[in-house]
Structure 1
Amino acid sequence: MSSKEKPTLGGTRIKTRKRNIAAPLDPAAFSDAVVQIYLDNAGDLELVAKSIESSDLNFSRYGDIFFEVVFTGGRTQPGTIKPEEGERHPHSVFDCEPKREDILPSVVYIQKILRRKPFLIKNLENVMGRFLQSLELFEEDERKKLAIFTALAFSQRLSGLPPETVFEPLLKDNLVAKGLVLSFITDFFKEYLVENSLDNLISILKRGKMEDNLMDFFPPTKRSAESFAEHFTKAGLTALVEYNGKNIFEVKLKEIKTVLTSQISEGTDVDEVIEMVKQQIKDAKLPDIEIVRVLWDVLMDAVQWSGKNQQQNANSVLRQVKTWAPLLNTFCTSGKLQLELIYKVQMQCYEDAKLMKLFPEVVRSLYEHDVLAEDTILHWFRKGTNPKGRQAFVKGLEPFVNWLEEAEEEEE
């Protein structure tokens, strides 16, 4: 029996995996090529952008080098801002005059490049971060140019430059201590506010988590509200001074409110609470009228409300007034402050439906516990200026006012 031989291939091709042969790094050649584009176009940034777009240079590999050429005119030594050997061009950001009209074209130019090559965004962040951390190595006018560029970048909404990439590198202890950061940020604020509102600036600061930490830009020995006001007033940034003052004021109010809430909830002795509030006022220099507002808010926040049960709510409020009347009495020391307290009661009763009918009872209780004077109540009744719910409240308070007037006539 004959057997058939199995067919075999005449030959076998052995596949081999190709090795990735990395091209050697040549940042100097890349830098020289970009510089040559600038020189060939005589620094016309519109033409430079077009030439860069059509070039076959490896921007993905040398993105940081590209932005070094944009800012300094050539390549810098690794880890420094010192120029490296090689070709340079005289049309860089640092070769401009420290004026917005001279630096703005570079911002617009970079925006065009990033739209065409968005992968370069990270490289821009890298170079900006490195330069900001090296402020002490720049000359004063170079730091100013960098501040103007940064402000214009935010003003023009330059993609790839989130606020944290600017503020975080700045907060190096040695740079802050030398006052370099304060000088930079002042130039930045002044330039940005030329065409933008303070609200826009605050928005940037919030995104960079700096709106409540503006003092961090100051050297440690100058971190005070007085130094802040003096510095930025001299720089012509009074709106920023007002914002910071308001911010500090709100923080202090929040602090006293937190402490007061804690003490009231724990049932701390009234005299002890009074001393605490006095000390807070002394330390924070808070206006008396704000203290009255805070006191009433905290006392009412501590009340245990019972839904729609009017009588229980009334009893809770009146009990709170009786317990803490000495506290209110201590700080409602004038007709103006007492009138402000009535307005606070009026607004609370107006804004909360379950309290609408409590207004006369609360006012009468405050009178009986010597918090409100008769003259203050009569003034509010006859000449009160807050219209919210006034008609109903006046009608509700009328029997008590009649009683006050009759008692006054009998005394006479």
Structure 2
Amino acid sequence: MFALLILVCSSKEKPTLGGTRIKTRKRNIAAPLDPAAFADAVVQIYLDNAGDLELVAKNVESSDLNFSRYGDTFFEVVFTGGRTQPGTIKPDEGERHPYSIVECEANREAILPSVIYVQKILRRKPFLIKNLENVMRRFLQSLELFEENERKKLAIFTALAFSQKLSGLPPEAVFQPLLKDNLVGKGLVLPFITDFFKEYLVDNSLEDLIAILKRGKMEDNLMDFFPSAKRSAEGFSEHFTKAGLVPLVEYNEKKIFEAKLKDMKSALTTLIAEESDISEVIEIVKQRVKDANLPDIEVVRILWDVLMDAVQWSGKNQQQNANSALRQVKTWAKLLNSFCTSGKLELELIYKVQMQCYEDAKLMKLFPEIVRSLYDQDVLAEDTILHWFRKGTNPKGRQTLVKSLEPFIKWLEEAEEEE
């Protein structure tokens, strides 16, 4: 009976999962990280083609090397001829090639082919731009590890890279690493950035350079490239003048001047808004003019702009506008009088009034009233007004404004005849 039971059980089919495939778990087998072997392979491509960068580029593009994994290593080979030890620029073990950027002559003719070569590689493998950024940032942060001549080559390469509009290289990748205190303090950054500026401006305008500086958030911080002991407007001008970069000096002087005007305007706006004592305002303005060495003509322009900006203009009520403007002139006439100290400065004030009335239609009809008020408050002399009326040189709105001033001019001339 027991034997029969065993026979019956063994004759039955074993249960199966019908229609279901049992998936076996695949192991994630990662290829071993071997940047040294990758570097050796790239070096061999250089050697096999005797440094002919066109042939090197073709062989690099057609190779099955894993650039997505070893992009940083690739650019180490481009810049230094081989793989560098982590955290340094020292050569790692393995063969090196003599056609790298640091082995070139320190001039644009020698380095430009490398820039064009890198550009070709990036067009075929655009994902490598991040690796180029990584390596450049690392090298620039380690400028002290390079020889002086090698730093010059890096500066020329960097300038040519931007000049050739190397795909996607962000300016901040260049400028921000250079602002490390130890590099700036050791005087390593200033020669680098000077070489960069000089090389970039060979083929590009100052406006192009400023655009790059803006993108790199350095337009207003050019002094940061100078060691603290040399960080002054005079030091800036002296250094870049000697380097032959006079347009950059002029640009920086203009920026400094504009910043002084902005500070002056901001301080005066606050004083006017707070209705400070006019004598106090005059003394503060005079001191600021002296400290900033501002031209008198700019001071007159700022005074008028600030005074008129403080007026509460009405959109439609012309009489209200007239009253507000004339009240402002009367209130601050002593301030204007303190700085309109010559016929030339008085004439500049009339031109400011002319331009404001020309640019703002609601003020066009106020021109003769404002001029009359400035005359009544002894800000404008009769001779200045007559000179503007007869020989004024600013054509904007002049025909209309001259006509509107005719009754007042007639009154002046009749008064003069009576005297």
- State whether TM-score is above 0.5: yes
Cα pair distance change 1:405/1:84, threshold 3 Å:
same
RMSD: 1.5
**Residue aligned with 1:124, SS:** helix
Counterpart code for 1:141: N
8 Å CA contact retained: 1:125, 1:160: no
Partner Cα distance (2:78, 2:399) in 1: 69
Cα pair distance change 1:130/1:10, threshold 3 Å:
closer
Name the stretch that deviates more: 174-183 or 87-96.
174-183
Partner Cα distance (1:372, 1:140) in 2: 62
**Residue aligned with 1:194, SS:** helix
**Residue aligned with 2:253, SS:** helix
Quick one: which of 16, 28, 42 aligns to 1:9?
16
Q: Which residue of 2 aligns with 1:311?
A: 319
Matched, 1:159 2:164: no
Deviation track 1:356-410 (CA, whole Å, cap 9, x = no partner) reads 1111111111011111111111111111111122222222222222222222233
Q: Which residue of 2 aligns with 1:207?
A: 215
**Residue aligned with 2:322, SS:** helix
Q: Which residue of 1 aligns with 2:372?
A: 364
Query: 1:380-399 counterparts in 2 under 5 A?
Result: 380-399=388-407
Q: Which residue of 2 aligns with 1:297?
A: 305
Matched, 1:127 2:122: no
Q: Which residue of 2 aligns with 1:181?
A: 189
Q: Which residue of 1 aligns with 2:89?
A: 81
Q: Which residue of 2 aligns with 1:94?
A: 102
Quick one: which of 317, 320, 341 aligns to 1:333?
341
Q: TM-score, normalised by structure 2?
A: 0.94
Name the stretch that deviates more: 275-284 or 184-193.
275-284
8 Å CA contact retained: 1:30, 1:62: yes
> Rg: which structure is higher?
2
Unaligned runs of 5+ in 1: none
Partner Cα distance (1:310, 1:196) in 2: 51
Partner Cα distance (2:83, 2:13) in 1: 68
Quick one: which of 118, 123, 130 aligns to 1:115?
123
Following TM superposition, by how much is the alpha carbon of 1:13 offset from its aligned partner in structure 2, in angstroms?
Answer: 6.9
Q: Which residue of 1 aligns with 2:78?
A: 70
Give the ranges of 4+ consecutive aligned residues of structure 1 lying more than 4 Å apart after TM superposition: 10-14
Q: How many residues align?
A: 407
Cα pair distance change 1:167/1:392, threshold 3 Å:
same
Counterpart code for 1:387: P
8 Å CA contact retained: 1:71, 1:93: yes
Matched, 1:39 2:33: no
Partner Cα distance (1:231, 1:95) in 2: 29
Counterpart code for 1:29: A
Matched, 1:261 2:245: no
Counterpart code for 2:37: A
Q: Which residue of 2 aligns with 1:220?
A: 228
Partner Cα distance (1:376, 1:28) in 2: 82
